[in-house]
Every structure is written in C-alpha cells, then in structure tokens.
Amino acid sequence: MLGSWGCFPAPWQGPTEPGVPPATNLLWMVFDACDVLVFNSDSFNGFPVVDNNPLHNPIWNTLGPNFSGLHMLLGFNTSALGGVGTGGVFAQGLGEGSSVLQAWFSAVGTTQPATIPQNSQNIPVGGPIVPAAMGLIGPQGIADFWDVYVQLPGGPTIGPSIQTPTGWWYAWVSL
C-alpha cells in the first residue's frame, strides 16, 4: 500500500522553500528502478502529456493523490539496467545547473542502452528503456516542470509545492 510519502523528515540539507525546514521538505523523488512510472494508456502519444482527467490513466489515481508537496517523481516506464552509474551522472547534472528533469533524462541517456540486451540468464530481451517523470499541475497551470537543484544566476528556480492539483503532467524520452 502506497502511503503519503511526500513529506518524510530526512537528514539532508538541500534547497528549500521559504518557511519550510530543510529536513522536512522532500521536493523530488527518484526511483532508479524498473516500471515505477508505467503509463498504460492508448491515448498517450506525445511528450509531455498534460491531462486534467485522472480517469485516463491509473498512474494518476495511484501516485497523484500521494504527492503531498512533492514536486516531481522520476523513474522508468520500462525495465532498466542497474549498476551502470545513472545516479552519479544524475547528481553531476544537478550540480551543473540542469533542471531535475533534464538531469534525469540526460543521465539515463548517458548510462543506459536503448534496449535491454539480455536478462540475468543471458537471454536476449530487446525491450526499450524508457525513463519517465510525472508531476502536478496547479491552479492557473502552475507546474514544477523546470525545478533546479542548483540555481544559476538568471536561471530557473524551484517552483511552489502544489497542494491543490488540477491535473498531472507526464513526460518520457525514448533512448
């Protein structure tokens, strides 16, 4: 059962929003794990998807109501390879000023092959590797699509935590 995982206290110091203590402000969650963000809708045919109807896909119903201030969830729509250094490349991109979304897609594109070459029994699998992300849309179309971890002069900042979502966005990249 998925609980409300958007605001667990954590012993880290990162960017915060005004008035929110750093140890209780989880902004992004990354799962370097297979099938976390499976999008199984026949109507999905573009990048990004902005959909105000949560009935179009079960992912909105499963994950969306549990964001609780979380800005973005990143993971894979498919299988992926472990132990290839995706996390380190992702962190490097964040430190260089890339948006969280750009850093994730770039890290996956740099470290993952376009398809799974074989499974643990050396049997060819051949399925594509598709990184994905989702986030909330708030009143007046506000979204945290371009959040950054390190703000560069004149660059984008961290968006607001959306407490009353009006929809969700979903983005993916084919490698």
pLDDT band at 89 (very low <50, low <70, confident <90, very high): very high
Structure tokens at 68: 């609780």
HSE at residue 132, side-chain half, CA atoms within 13 A, is: 26
Q: Taking Cα atoms as reference points, which of 101, 131, 127 lies closest to residue 116?
A: 127
What string of H, E and C letters represents the secondary structure of 135-167? EEECHHHCECCCCECCCCCCCCCCCCCCCCCCE
Per the domain annotation, does 166 fall within a domain? yes
Per the domain annotation, does 57 fall within a domain? yes
Structure tokens at 170: 């979903």
Per the domain annotation, does 3 fall within a domain? no
Per the domain annotation, does 1 fall within a domain? no
Per the domain annotation, does 157 fall within a domain? yes
pLDDT of residue 153: 79
- More reliable by pLDDT, 73 or 46: 73
Domain containing 109: what range?
26-36+48-172
Number of domains forming the structure of the chain: 1
pLDDT of residue 88: 94
- More reliable by pLDDT, 29 or 10: 29
SS3 state at 124 = coil
Q: Does the predicted model carry a pTM greater than 0.95?
A: no
Q: Taking Cα atoms as reference points, which of 7, 35, 19, 62 lies closest to residue 132?
A: 35
